[in-house]
Amino acid sequence: MKIIKVLGTGCAKCTKTLEAISKIADELNIDINIIKETDPEVIMEYGVMSTPAVIIDEVNVHSGSIPHRQEIEVWLQEE
């Protein structure tokens, strides 16, 4: 199961990102473990400066905006 972290200091876009990923994972019937990470120290440790950012299994795959649907589908379906 993929561990997905959405990094952000609590702005509207970060919440939307989390919802979008959860929803698409549901539609595709993929089990994920999704966490919202708001601690600035942790965000710094990932070297992220533009939020929302998406970390999948400790790899930074996206930052700075709400990801598109196609991108999310690719991330979720990747082995």
Residue that the structure tokens 């970390």 belong to: 55
- Asked if 64 interacts with another protein (CB under 8 A), we say yes
Between 30 and 42, name the residue whose CB sits nearer to another protein: 42
The rounded distance, in Å, linking the Cα atoms of 73 and 59 is 16
The rounded distance, in Å, linking the Cα atoms of 50 and 32 is 24
53 forms beta bridges with 7, 63
Q: Which of residues 1-60 bind another protein (CB under 8 A)?
A: 7-14, 40-41, 43-44, 47-51
Between 28 and 40, name the residue whose CB sits nearer to another protein: 40
- The answer to whether 18 and 6 are in contact (CB under 8 A) is yes
Q: State the number of binding residues for another protein (CB under 8 A).
A: 19
**Residue numbers at the binding site for another protein (CB under 8 A):** 7-14, 40-41, 43-44, 47-51, 64-65
